[in-house]
Amino acid sequence: MAPAKSKMHFELSERIVLLRILDNLSIFLGLFLVGEIFQFDYFLLSSQNWYWIFVLLLYYNIFATVLEMYNLQKASRVDQIIQNVVVVASLTTLIFLLTPFFTPVLPDNRMQLVYFYLAVTISLLIWRYCYVFFVSSPRFYKSVLIVGTASEIDLIIQTIRHEAPTFFIAGAIVTNNKEIKIPVKIINPDDLFDLIETEKISEIIVASNVGVEFPEKIVDSLIRLLEQGVPIKEYTQVYEDLTARVPVQYVGKDFYKYFPFSRSNQNRLYLFFSRVLDIVLAFMGLLVFCFFIPVVLIGNLIGNKGPLFYNQERIGKNGKSFKIFKLRSMVVDAEKQGAVWAQQNDPRITPFGHFLRKSRLDEMPQFINVLKGEMSMIGPRPERPIFVSDLSKVIPFYEVRHMIKPGVTGWAQVSTEYGDSEEDSLKKLQYDLYYIKHRSAFMDFNIIFKTLSTILFYRGR
């Protein structure tokens, strides 16, 4: 008997697409209804001014992305909705009103502007509350079954519960007669088909150690389920999809299966435009930095008391070393006892240095490295030779990150906190390899937006 159809659910990527589409649709409908009810003539669309709605939605999507309206964890929290919507709607409306060359001329009746703002805000609030109470409810959770060895089942359960709270783990089939540390319903292989039907399983995740074979009965059952249309995925791929990291510590001799690196790494057209973007953004960054020079000079004089700049040897593309430029944020002779990791609340960081790191101003001189071609705007963070030497001995594939230029910002920098240990470096490497594997123009712009969010929310360290 064929298994029952799985219950309706939304993948993580589908939730983001759904949020974006219905955000835009709710704004349009809100303005349309206000126009019909209150004779609202500020935003009347016609064949001559149809582009107004595209300008408005462009502004909204930029601010919504930078201010993390599409962070699924935040989007599912009721306490975050009002704050996020009001801030994004206010910025969108303000910029829309201040660009009359692309938008309607301000009306004589200023109450029309109030209607405009309320239409955008209230329509978004209504839709976002509907999302929380309906789409994010357990009825749309993705029901999964895990099959594999105990250690791998523990890993994928931990990953799912941390990264994908909208997943429901219906149970697990253990193939190596060992105990699972994380509590979960253990399924007898003989009950597999019944569970698929009763729990409406959406997906089976197969998690096994390299070289460990499943019992023949389980393999036969999985083949039958696959033939009947039940999705079956390998756990490293699920791990990568959920975390946006490559689980490099679990990749063995068949590493080539997991590293089909992005074609963008050799695409000359992509690399050309990437270099053009590097130069443009680096010049813009140095111009912005010029405005902060008076603040930096005064702050350094009072809170740093010593040289303003410093340079340090780092490892770049293909393992070549170069001198990186930064604003000094630590006391003079901070490493007189030798090179050590920067720690949380590191006492070597000066009072003004904390501000420089939080605001990311200390990174701005690296735009010089970008113009010199030693760095790119986006890429893995360059590390010091001594740390590279040590980490390469304990972390597999660590030096793969040197196949592209290091970056001022990158996927690891915007996805995790500052690393101060080997464990943190492993996590950063997972993000770096994910970027190298999926590198594209779209991902580069995503990183730029996330970097702006990091700066605006003062998350530097």
Distance CA 259, CA 188 (A): 35
Interatomic CA distance for residues 324 and 311, integer angstroms: 5
Whether 187 and 216 have beta carbons less than 8 Å apart is answered as: no
User: How far is the first Cα of the chain from the last one, in angstroms, to the nearest whole number?
Assistant: 57
**d(Cα 186, Cα 178) in Å, to the nearest integer?**
11
Closest CA to 379 of 388, 387, 371, 370: 370
In degrees to the nearest 10, what's the CA dihedral of 43, 49, 50, 55? -70
Taking the C-alpha atoms of residue 217 and residue 333, their distance in angstroms, rounded to an integer, is 65
The DSSP string of 215-257 is: PHHHHHHHHHHHHTT--EEEHHHHHHHHHSS--GGG--TTGGG
Helix (H) or strand (E) holding 329: none
Pairing state between β 309-315 and 142-148: unpaired
Q: Give the pLDDT score at 38.
A: 76
pLDDT at 4: 47
For CA atoms 231, 235, 239, 241, give the dihedral sign: negative
CA pair distance 243, 440, nearest whole angstrom: 18
d(Cα 360, Cα 458) in Å, to the nearest integer?
Answer: 8
- At 256 the pLDDT is 62
DSSP 8-state code for residue 322 = E
Contact 361, 303 (CB under 8 A): no
In whole angstroms, what is the distance from residue 67 CA to residue 334 CA?
A: 36
Q: Which residues pair with 407 in a beta bridge?
A: 376
Tokens at 240, concatenated: 């990568």
What pLDDT score was predicted for residue 48? 73
Scanning the structure block, which residue is given the tokens 């994010």?
136
Residue 151 in tokens: 């250690």
Maximum CA extent, the chain: 78
Q: Per-10-residue mean pLDDT for the chain, 461 residues long?
A: 56 85 94 80 74 91 89 82 92 90 80 89 94 79 86 85 82 83 85 84 79 78 86 85 80 64 87 94 93 89 84 92 90 68 71 84 92 95 90 86 93 79 83 91 89 71 55
Tokens matching residue 18: 């759904």
pLDDT, position 444: 93
Interatomic CA distance for residues 195 and 172, integer angstroms: 11
Closest CA to 142 of 20, 235, 12, 17: 12
* C-alpha to C-alpha distance for 23 and 28, rounded to whole angstroms: 9
What structural domains does the chain harbor?
Answer: 12-135 (no CATH), 141-243 (3.40.50.720), 264-456 (no CATH)
Angle in degrees, CA 302, 305, 310, rounded to 5: 125
348 and 330 Cβ atoms separated by less than 8 Å:
yes
